[in-house]
Amino acid sequence: MEGAGSGDGVKPRTATWLDKHRPMYDRATRHPFIRSIRDGAVDFASFKRWLAQDYIFVKEFVPFVASVLLNSCRQSDDTSDMEIILGGVASLSDELSWFKTEASRWDVELTGVSPLKANIEYCRFLESFSSAEIDYTVAITTFWAIETVYQDSFSFCIQSGSKTPKELLGTCQRWGSDEFKQYCQSLQKIVDRCLEKAPIDVVEKAEEAFVRVLEHEFDFWNMSSSEH
């Protein structure tokens, strides 16, 4: 049995998940830490903690995205997937440079920083995708979910009426931009296409991965807000 998709008039699977798991999704994308940025009430110590911890996360994110790229080469039925994912890989070098520059600006020491518990668990989750046996559909779903939560979270901070501190506007615009949103939508189209053709057990694993991303993102924001 294959997963239902948009080809038969049914709502795309990702849209169904976003509706089904809306409370969890909103917890991840409208977390008090994100709201504090939007409201101009953020504790800059929390932002600095996020900056250092997210730098560690992105370094672990690089091999994860590389594994998704490799899986697309092996398993995808559409060569354009590789080009889209490769764009994400290429942007990560610039992203790491951005973190270093931003850390210097905020006097945040990146060398020797230890990952906190939520970060360790999230990175361990990413490492679980290093196996060649991981289904491409599950991997690309996870990639899309991670990127989408960040895009939605930070775009919230630059919407009309926001009071985001000017010092953080660059950060929010980096992930909240329309350009990044379009990239996330490109990933979403790949995910829906894969889910439409996937057997039900793979669809279930992909949904489980989607939910786990939401849980990890929520915990990551919590970690940024308090040193745990």
Task: Provide the annotated binding site.
Answer: 54, 95, 147
How far the first Cα of the chain sits from its last, in Å, is 43
Distinct helix (H) and strand (E) counts, the chain: 10, 0
Length of the chain (residues)? 228
Contact status, residue 153 vs residue 175, Cβ threshold 8 Å: yes
Which residue is catalytic, options 60, 127, 217, 227? 217
Binding residue ranges for substrate: 54, 95, 147
Active site annotation includes 217: yes
Residue type, 71: N
What count of other Cβ atoms lies within 10 Å of the Cβ of residue 228? 9
Classify 37 in phi/psi space as left (phi over 0), alpha (psi -120 to 50) or beta. alpha
CB atoms within 10 A of CB 176: 22
Cα separations in angstroms, 141 against 21, 71, 129: 15, 12, 12
Gap between the Cα atoms of 219 and 225, Å rounded: 10
In the Cβ-directed half-sphere of 206, how many Cα atoms lie within 13 Å? 29
Listed in order, strand segments (DSSP E) in the chain are none
**65, two tokens:** 């995205």
Q: Which residues belong to the active site?
A: 217
